[in-house]
A and B are shown apart, each in its own frame.
Chain A
Amino acid sequence: MISFITSHYFQIGTVILFGVGFMTLLLNNNLIRKIIGLNIMDTSIFLFFITIGYTGGREAPIINGAFKGIDAYVTPIPTGLMLTGIVVAVSTTAFALALTILFYERFGTIDLSEVMDSRGD
């Protein structure tokens, strides 16, 4: 158990962060806090992906001078994927923020619980 924690602390950290972000997004009523939760959740996934791609002792896959063989470099795919992921997260955040402004203009509050009617259906 202890050895699992010491060898996987990055992954454990990202999963905890994911949980924090997820619950903030789900349970908080304040829209700005929800958006912050969304960002924490997305960032934790990026971290998770990047820790998958990292192998201790290897360099970034940029050939500077001589090529040192395949084993000298980490795999670039997760990092590349996460660039796309970040773009997606930024656009979602931007859309959510714009919608929050509209929401505030219409209802005069950014608290969801004040606006949502609990009809129960």
Chain B
Amino acid sequence: MQGLHLTSLLSILILMITAFIMPVIKQRQLVTKISLATMGVVLVMLALVAVDVARVEHYTATIGHYDAPFGITFDIGPIEAVVGVLFAFVSTMVVWYASFGIHKEIKENRVKLFYTLIHLLLASLLGIVFTSDLFNSFVFIEVSTLAACGLIAIKDKPENIKATMKYLILSSLGSGLVLMGIAYLYSMTGHLNMRAIHETLQVSVAGNERAILVSLTMFTIGLGIKAAMFPLHIWLPDAHASAPGPSSAILSGIVIKAPVVLLFKVLFMVYGHEILKDTVILNLILIFGATGMIMGSLFARVQTDLKRMVAYSSVAQMGYIFFGFGLGNAMGMTIAIYHILAHGLTKSCLFLSVSSFIEQTGQRDIDNMRGIGREMPITLAIFSLGGLSMVGIPMLPGFVSKWNLALAAIDYGQIFLLLIILASSLLNVSYYFPIIINGYFGNANLEGKIYKSKMKPVRELVPLILLSIMMVIVGFGSGPILDWIASAMPSL
């Protein structure tokens, strides 16, 4: 159905339009309702898109009836559909959660701006994922960067300004590199459409090897900065730890995922495996990913601030995704995309529960979280579920990722990579389990704590519970999801 094909474009347009309606509305309650309704509509639309993709495998939405090499098109296959639904779902839940408590964390007159920024952010992230025009994706990247910076700076504390500055500077470096990479590709091929570039590059590799390598490096480093690839992650802990709770959930859950999806498309759909196998880029990504898995966890271990610890855990988890790409075989790529889903749901769950700990107790230190399980049993249960998924307890999405990543590493032929996965999992245990155990058990920890004394009303916890239910569903239903993603992998 042709009409349905434009739903993907329409979802972005609705978000952009509502984003700019909000600042002019007076009542905060109305703004919240509009935001929630819009998010719900977008979620339904993207679910329809996914159903449609499942039926016809793949479709293209042309914008303004200009066809592929000249006009901008949205090429939507299973990967884009799955990631799009994930983004919409996480944002809906975060907006729902934020509607109860965001005015306590930021100034009253900035609440409307918060929703505006979230809408702009989601619109640009969906754009990055859907578009098949490189320059268009660059514009969306810039919009998402500025919106994400706004979401950090909205809290107005000195450390927020500092973190935003760091993020903005490094992000601008990344954008500059990406744009230069696009310029190289354009000068070699004369196209901006991904498929057209791919076709032209295949015939004009000879004589352009150096230019191809330079542009590949620019894309990898530029998008690597934005996606917090290990040595380029230095902006992430400050930014994600200082932002208001719902912002952190969105930043860690989905904002760092969009550049990864774009990097995937650039590497495997624009350059293609024929070019990649002659370069060192994939090995480089594999090494960065593996180092990130270990170092991110080691850094997380030594943190005393709970939110910083969860932020460093994101660095480690992004390592898994890059590790999957770096393996370069179909299974590794499939599991990298699956881990985007798994980590997106799990990390937003963790950040939201951590932010309710901080909101209810006023404490940020891990040591002060002892006995929290008696005061806030449900929230800690959700946190534990997320932590267990990160560690890799069977049937949760984190386990599915690790298991299949291990299989992909065996398939790749390097057994020692298994040790890295194992070591990273054990490190995850060492920083998630103490919080859970000290939260629920130990007489000294529980002394003087009153059961359910600091618990939030259950209706405020509904979005968190839904997120964790979704997480479990993604874990249990991993078979069909993996098959569906694998069906879209570019042939090697």
Interface set of A (CB-CB < 8 Å, partner B)? 18, 21-22, 25-26, 31, 34, 38, 41-42, 45, 48-49, 52, 77-78, 81, 84-85, 88, 91-92, 95-96, 99-100, 102-103, 106-107, 112, 115-116, 121
Contact = CB atoms under 8 A, between A and B. Distances in A.
Contacts of B164: 99
B232 to A, nearest CB: 12
28 contacts: A25-B172, A25-B176, A34-B169, A38-B172, A42-B176, A45-B176, A45-B180, A45-B183, A48-B180, A48-B187, A49-B183, A49-B186, A77-B192, A81-B135, A84-B135, A88-B139, A91-B146, A92-B172, A92-B175, A95-B149, A96-B169, A96-B172, A99-B161, A106-B158, A107-B158, A112-B165, A116-B162, A121-B303
B237 interface: yes
B476 interface: no
A102 B173 contact: no
The 4 A-B pairs with the shortest beta carbon distances in the complex, nearest first, are A106-B158, A52-B187, A41-B176, A88-B142
B59 interface: no
Given A102-B153, A106-B158, A85 B168 contact: no
A103 B162 contact: yes
Interface of chain B, main secondary structure: helix
Contacts of B176: 18, 21-22, 25, 38, 41-42, 45
Nearest to B302: A121
Interface of B: 135, 138-139, 142, 145-146, 149, 153, 158, 161-162, 164-166, 168-169, 172-173, 175-176, 179-180, 183, 186-187, 192, 237, 299, 302-303
Contacts of B162: 103, 107, 115-116
Contacts, number: 78
A18 B175 CA distance: 13
A52 B135 CA distance: 15
Nearest to A85: B179
B142 to A, nearest CB: 5
A5 B378 CA distance: 68
A22 B161 contact: no
Contacts of A42: 176, 179
B161 A102 contact: yes
Contacts of A21: 176
Contacts of B299: 121
B179 A52 contact: no
A106 B149 CA distance: 17
Contacts of A84: 135, 139
B37 to A, nearest CB: 29
A49 B138 CA distance: 14
Contacts of A78: 186
A72 to B, nearest CB: 19
A26 B176 CA distance: 12
A92 B139 CA distance: 11
A36 to B, nearest CB: 12
Contacts of A48: 180, 183, 187
Nearest to A91: B146
A95 B146 contact: yes
Nearest to A78: B186
A5 to B, nearest CB: 16
Nearest to A88: B142
B158 A92 contact: no
A106 B146 contact: no
A26 B171 CA distance: 11
Contacts of A85: 179
Nearest to B188: A52
A34 B172 CA distance: 10
